[in-house]
Structure 1
Amino acid sequence: MSTSIVKDPGESILSRFDSLDIESLKISARDGCKVMKWSIILQLAFQSIGVVYGDIGTSPLYVYSSVFSGGINHIDDILGVLSLIFYTLTLIPLIKYTFIVLQANDNGDGKLELPSNSKRMRLASTLKSKLEKSGFAKFVLFFVTLLGTSMVIGDGILTPAISVLSAVGGLKEATPAMTQEKIVWISVAILVFLFMIQRLGTDKVGYSFAPILIVWFAFISGIGVYNIIKFDPTVVKAVNPMYIIDYFSRNKKEAWISLGGIVLCTTGSEALFADLGHFTVRSIQISMCSVVYPALILAYTGQASFLRKHPDLVGDSFLNAVYWPMFVVAVLAAIIASQAMISGTFSIIQQSLSLGCFPRVRIVHTSAKYEGQVYIPEMNYLLMLACVGITLGFQDTTKIGNAYGIAVVFVMTLTTSLLALIMIMIWRSNILLVVFYLLIIGSVEFVYLSSVLYKFDQGGYLPLAFAAFLMTIMYVWNNVYRKKYYYELQHKISPSKLYEITVDINCCRIPGLAMFYSELGSWHPTYLPTLCHESPNELNVFRCVARYGYTDVRNEEESFERMLVQKLKDFIREDYMILSHANMNIEDITKVDTELPGRLDSEENVNDNVIREENLKEEMERDIEIVEKAWNVGVVHLVGETEVIATEGSGIWKRIMIDHAYNFLKNVLRKSDKVFDVPHKKMLKVGMTYEL
């Protein structure tokens, strides 16, 4: 943890830099972009296999059965579907997400800087200016962003349900006594276990799950090669896209509807980007290209080869070759599949929270090595309840698959749309390249979207309903949060106003050290005047900015108060050194001036400077003594507990949003003292009401 302290103007005869600015100068520009060692990248690549790819890796469990739910009508339809799977996997997870979307991150990767006179620069500036001036455009972008975020969180609910239910459903082949009801309850037990271990963190879960996923990918690729050689090696001719055209020519509307099942081969692609905070771009690219993509291609090709000889076993094509080994590994892999979107959900909520778009929840950093690996207890339990509810409610992978497909394709299309803006405004890509990107990837995803929406009434409504609910929460919180923030910004106490209050002769001193907490990060909170009783002779008010690293926690051995007092003393000494240095410079100038006729006497000026130096030292010692006395008397933490209400005469929607919805979320979630981790025995809450 680092603390920076700035004393208010009024006492100092010199203006000085903000200590935050001084501290920032000590940081080298190179420190922000350290090159990560390859050993760490490879470790993260290994971990990412156990966290990121469980979802997309287990999609072979249910893709063919979803596509051919009514049976295989023509033997060459298998080649058409395989060809669609091959090009969909190549275009969306591999090219789009792994090599394009991952570059749109927040650590500077992939940002292309061009000369200021570039046509692309002017286009980017023009588009940015128009978006900033248009209130409607900003609302649409905000709405689309919230929708995409809500859909990804919805994936975190649907992924565990469909993955686990699909894998456990294979028990029907082992024993006739295994009913659907028993399969559902076994799935529920597995889901509860999965969410219970989330508290261990991505680091431990990743290292635990990665070996199982590596075995899984080895199994599906090995059995895929075995099936290709044994049943029909000619199935590899599906790389010819003509089989896609023939498939649509034969089946027409049914082929279009089946796209809703084919798109399930891409489920979990969004986890590559959502889990980026847990890993790095390079580590995800390595694991995707070297392990995941080749294994998936071999698995789907092997299944197609098996189905060419056994078209009547489409529902069991995955487990039929080596039943028990594959079943055990499939169940384990399905459990891990859920991890990808659960981790991604935690990351997205953390980012939304930092942007003021999500109510306060507890963020637990689970790794001392990797900052982005987080766990959110409240959301973990809510996700668990939702997953269990969906599993018990639907009890069938077909309807869950319909809902899943809509969520997946919605996220894909929204990502493509927003990425086009990034390519123009941030990367400043060639406009022809942007158009080509939209025509190829955008048109493919639009066709898939039209297909999955056809099954809206067959379970497809679920992710949209959940997204609407979540978007309402996020919009209400963000809207009122911004109004509250700007209200506090407009009514904050300026340094000059604070000085007027503290020198008022009606004020009296209360012994001790008082800490006023504020989220503004600049000067003083609005509730300060109601509790400010300071000495009329000395200000003794400091602004302290405390910045916690993600592994910093408060503890009794090294208390925040003790650390703050020490920082205050260091700051006072630093102030003295700056003033003393300025005094020495004045002395040097005076000596030069005395060499000219008519100037002040040299000895008198030197004596004055010595006296001034002694006065500064006495002032420093007095200030340090004041801080020590205040510390010895005791510390009180003052936290503003604000209530927001709609202004009189507001419309009904505004009153509902502020008086009821926002205040309900605020009351049921974490309070300010919990966020700041203020000790209760030393805390005093100050209640205020804002009319927004």
Structure 2
Amino acid sequence: MDPQMHPDAIFDEAKKKTWKQTILLCFQIVGVVYGQLSTTPLYVFGTIQSTAVSEEVVYELFSFIFWTLTIISLLKYAFIVLKADNDGEGGTFALYSLLCRHAKVGLLPCDRSTDEVMHCAERTSSNVKVVSRAQRAIENQKGCHYLLLFLALFGSCMTIGDAVLTPALSVLSASNGVQRSLSDMSHLFSSSEHSQELVSEALKRYVPVPCACVILVGLFMLQHYGTHRIGFMFAPIISVWLLFVGGVGVYNIFHWNKEIFYKISPVYMFKFVRDFNIKRWRLLGNIILCAAGSEAMFADLGHFSKKSIKITFICFIYPLLVLCYAGQVAYISKNLHVKDYNHLSESMPRHFKHVFILLSLFASAVGSQATITTSFSIINQCLALNCFPRVKVIHTSKKIYGQIYIPDVNWLLMILSLTVTVGFQDMVKIGNATGLAIISGMLVTTSLMSLIIALYWEKNLLVSACFLVGFGFFEATYLSASLLEFHKGAWYLVVLLVVIMTIMLSWHYGTMKKYEFDMQNKVSTEWLIDVCPNLGISRVPGIGFIYTDIVAGIPAFFSHFITNLPAFHQVLIFVSFKSLPVPCVPDSERYLIGRIGPKDYRIYRCIVRYGYYDHISDTDNFEEQIIRSIEEFISIEQNDIESMDSPHGRMIIVGNSLPADGNRDSESCIGPSSIINESQISPIDDSFEKASLPPPVKRKKVRFMLPANSPKMQASLKKELLELIDARESGSTYFLGQSHLMVRDGSSFLKRFLIMTYRLSEKNCREPPVALKIPHAALVEVGMVCTI
């Protein structure tokens, strides 16, 4: 951009660039976020028992479809829920995270000052909010905290269940279309009616399920390419699909029933409710499938932007879906005598049926993408709040933080989807389970969103109550219908819910107990200063790196170690990792360095901040970076007058300015970007476990040298730097803590079961990332038994 341009021209150019990016995102969104919602016409009417429908009932169901898309998808999600993002992330856990941050309802100890320190943020009086009576009531009730956690986990389980069921349902529905198309051509294989029936039966038995399984395997194998590439691959397919079914819908409206749009009147919904009948009421459990994928609009927010999601739905998805459903209902209302009239393929004009079959196969595969990416986002948020076992998270975009791929979860979803497809082989049963998952997740979002309106947006309680009652009543109606089909497939979702919920609850419970143990048993820095001399502790040559999640105080495992083996290294460095939601953290802002105890103790604290695309090379180089930063800290502290009054307890953000050859004049160091008292820092959560360090390569020696003649360097500074260099030359040792949970005798069965499940999950999940990068010869693991 030309710097000589007029400011208005620069603004216009930036605005044009923003709109280009938005349009590009809108194109990608069609194939990722709206794939499931776009393919719902394949199975909404297809999962309905054809014998239970009359012309009047068809009109009533169409009224429900229109107002469900309008009220839930358009009004609730596109206009209201999308505004409640958590730093660009969406989903039930994003809502729960907002409540934890702003209403103090989290079960893990949490202090916002930690995150503010890590982001170099400063508190101001304008950030302090007046606590409302409702907020105080919820904060003081421990039962509310457990209820909110349960709701968040329940909603997440429903999302994962949807990711298992929807691929099976959409692909199987398209495969059934292929089978029906081949059955129609059975006369080409045999002239006798009996032979045609045998061929049709064979096709029905051997075509849909194998075809669906092949498509499912192909879909899940594409996930590693990432949202960006998949979006470009899938967007044209869904766009063509929507334009095709929308165009066919317009044709059917004019050809079969031009007055179909009069049937969207709420009067037809009232007639349906007035003529209450259990058999008819069950149909609503299938109709809710028309809104399947609405939750993805919010849950996939981390992959895209609010503006692009809203524009795409309002201008493209919503009108074409309404036209498609209107055309299908227009056809059904005049063809109730036709076999399989409720399947979308039957409403296609004769010359376009083969085109429809081909498009439906591609679209059904793509349609499952929304639920898969949603499950990735939800599980990633669960990991951040210690509610899911550690799994590998791969960020597939340098620009958008939320675009991720989780290999372990991807293959697990594939296996479960194949199991559902092969096990049920019935669209109606899978549709019943999917409908229950969808409406349950929507009810959780409505409940949490009502609290967000009251506690986070600080709206009147009447507004929150109106949101809860209005949307909640509408969704509860569908829930009652879905529960009536519990014995016809919906039971599978409950089994899946119990298994996933047990894993999540046990992991959260075990992590919380470990965290509480670490917090209760950590010792103060004064203990290291006052007690250690009385223990007769020896200082051995070298550097000891102590990896810990605690950023204030001394971790329990280290005090346990030196109490039983009274010796530690000449230089000690307590290292903690903090993941930030940015691609890269500049070297000048990466390290937060402080001192523990008097200068003579040579004990330092280092907090390493990194983005999701930062990579630290081998262990030696990482050590070199930390030691350079400590050298810089020592030099800054020596020249800082304030350090005379506060010899320890300060954290300084330093810039990594040491040349590659290891030589540096201590007078050339960069001044601190920020100085923070350690008293401001409080314990942080398990997000340090996200440190992304690549495998160690061949070890190399790194030698640090001081300038031979430096008249400006003070003797104490030179002495400390020389000791640091000598310790590095003597070698390094790495300390990791391992807490083993044990249950006291006489504990309840529930506690024993949760801890047993936690220990089983811990053995089979990934190790903490930092543990994978440390040379085994230099690793010391300190085990402690945590009895609860």
Indicate conservation of the 8 Å contact 1:516/1:525, yes or no: no
**Deviation by residue 1:137-177 (Cα, 9 ceiling, x = unmatched):** 22222222221111111111111110111111111122135
Q: Which runs of 5+ in 2 are unaligned?
A: 1-15, 90-94, 103-128, 184-198, 572-598, 646-709
- Secondary structure in 2 aligned to 1:372? coil
The 5 A counterparts of 1:341-356 are: 341-356=371-386
- Corresponding residue for residue 341 of structure 2: 314
Q: How do 1:203-218 residues align onto structure 2 when only pairs under 5 Å count?
A: 203-218=228-243
Distance 1:630 1:297, change over 3 A: same
Name the stretch that deviates more: 506-515 or 337-346: 506-515
Q: Shift in Å at residue 681 of structure 1?
A: 5.0
- TM-score, length of structure 1 as denominator length: 0.84
Asked whether the 8 Å contact 1:259–1:448 carries over to 2, the reply is yes
User: Structure 1 pair 299/388, CA: closer, same or farther in 2 (3 Å)?
Assistant: same
Counterpart CA distance in 1 for 2:218 and 2:72 is 32
Output the amino acid matched with 2:632: D
Once the two structures are superposed, residues 281-312 of structure 1 have per-residue CA deviations (whole angstroms, 9 ceiling, x without a partner) of 22211111111111111110111122233222
Q: Does 1:498 align with 2:595?
A: no
Structure 1 position 370, deviation (Å): 0.7
Equivalent position of 1:273 in the other structure? 298
Q: 1:58 aligns with which of 16, 27, 39?
A: 39
1:545-584 equivalence runs, <5 A: 545-556=607-618, 559-579=621-641
Which amino acid in the other structure matches residue 569 of structure 1? Answer: E
Whether the 8 Å contact between 1:517 and 1:639 is mirrored in structure 2 is: yes
1:454 corresponds to: 484
Q: Which residue of 2 aligns with 1:609?
A: none
| 2:434 is equivalent to residue 404 of structure 1 | yes
Task: Give the counterpart letter for 1:69 in structure 2.
Answer: S
Show the counterpart of 1:7: none
Change (3 A) 1:352 1:300: same
Q: Does 1:38 align with 2:19?
A: yes
| Offset, 1:81 | 1.7
Seen in structure 2, the aligned counterparts of structure 1 residues 198 and 680 have a Cα distance that, compared at 3 Å, is farther
User: Where do 1:441-480 residues align within 5 Å?
Assistant: 441-480=471-510
Residue identity opposite 1:144 in structure 2: L
Name the structure 2 match of 1:226. Answer: 251
**Matches of 1:675 and 1:327 in 2, distance apart?**
51
Q: Note if 1:625 corresponds to 2:722.
A: yes
Report whether the alignment pairs 1:245 with 2:270. Answer: yes
Structure 2 distance, partners of 1:675, 1:336, is 38
Contact 1:423 1:434 in 2 (8 A): yes
Q: Which consecutive unaligned segments of at least 5 residues does structure 1 have?
A: 1-34, 114-120, 584-612
Residue 538 of structure 1 deviates from its aligned partner by: 2.7
Aligned to 1:157: 164
Query: Which stretch of structure 1 is more off in the superposition, 174-183 or 662-671?
Result: 174-183
User: So what's the TM-score if we normalise by structure 2?
Assistant: 0.74
For 1:487, which of 517, 534, 542 is the aligned residue? 517
| Structure 1 counterpart of 2:726, one-letter code | K
Q: Residue type matched to 2:33 in 1?
A: V
- How far the C-alpha of 1:522 sits from its partner, in A, is 2.4
C-alpha distance 566-425 of structure 1, shift in aligned 2 (>3 A):
same
Shift of 1:127: 1.4
Q: Is the 8 A contact 2:544 2:568 kept in 1?
A: no
Tell me: higher relative CO, structure 1 or 2? Use CA pairs within 8 A at least 6 residues apart: 1
* Candidates 132, 135, 155, aligned match of 1:128: 135
Cα offsets for 1:405-438 (capped at 9, x unmatched)? 1111111112112211111111122333333323
Out of 753, 757, 761, the residue aligned to residue 665 of structure 1 is: 761
- Superposition pairs for residues 578-593 of structure 1, below 5 Å? 578-579=640-641
Task: Render the CA deviation track for 1:7-43: whole Å, top value 9, x for unaligned.
Answer: xxxxxxxxxxxxxxxxxxxxxxxxxxxx993333333
Which residue number in structure 2 is paired with residue 70 of structure 1?
51
Number of residue equivalences: 619
Deviations 1:104-163 (A, max 9, x none): 21138999x9xxxxxxx98x7211211222222222222222211111111111111101
Amino acid at match of 2:472: G
Larger displacement relative to structure 2 (138-147 or 482-491) = 138-147
- Conserved? CA contact 1:639–1:672, under 8 Å: no
Distance 2:212 2:543 in 1: 56
Question: What is the CA distance between 1:489 and its match in structure 2?
Answer: 1.0
The CA deviation string for residues 379-418 of structure 1, in whole angstroms up to 9 with x for no partner, is: 1111111111111100111100011111111111121122
Alignment equivalent of 2:740, drawn from 643, 654, 665: 643
Q: Label 1:100 to 1:650 Cα distance change in 2 as closer, same or farther (>3 A).
A: same
Amino acid aligned to 2:230: V
Q: Is the 8 A contact 1:307 1:317 kept in 2?
A: no
CA distance, structure 2, for counterparts of residue 451 and residue 648 of structure 1: 46
Distance of 1:677 and 1:334 partners within structure 2: 42
- Give the aligned partner of residue 81 of structure 2: 101
1:617-648 C-alpha deviation (Å, 9 max, x unpaired): 22222222222222233332221122111234
- Structure 1 position 67, deviation (Å): 3.3
Q: Is the 8 A contact 1:503 1:534 kept in 2?
A: no
Query: 1:87 aligns to what?
Result: 67
SS at match of 2:361: helix
Q: Could you tell me how far apart the structure 2 residues matched to 1:681 and 1:382 are?
A: 35
Q: Residue 84 of structure 1: CA displacement? A: 1.2
Displacement of 1:673 after TM fit?
Answer: 4.8
Cα deviation, 1:26-77, whole Å, max 9, x if unaligned, reads xxxxxxxxx993333333222221111111110000112223532642x233
Distance 1:556 1:642, change over 3 A: same
Structure 2: distance between partners of 1:238 and 1:318: 23
From the superposition, tell whether residues 101 and 679 of structure 1 become closer, same or farther in structure 2 (CA, over 3 Å). Answer: farther
How far apart are the structure 2 equivalents of 1:343 and 1:557? 34
Corresponding position of 1:533: 568
Identity %: 34
558 and 217 in structure 1: CA distance in 2 versus 1, 3 angstrom threshold: farther
Q: State the Cα distance separating 1:614 from its structure 2 match.
A: 8.4
The question of whether the paired residues in 1 share the 8 Å contact of 2:41 and 2:344 is answered with no
What corresponds to 1:20 in structure 2?
A: none
Distance, in Å, in 2 between the alignment partners of 1:534 and 1:633 is: 10
Q: Distance in 1 between matches of 2:472 and 2:255?
A: 38
Displacement of 1:251 in angstroms is 7.0
User: Relative to structure 2, which stretch is displaced further, 42-51 or 473-482?
Assistant: 42-51
In structure 2, relative to structure 1, the CA distance for the partners of 1:348 and 1:677 (3 Å cut) is farther
In structure 2, the residue matched to 1:187 is 212
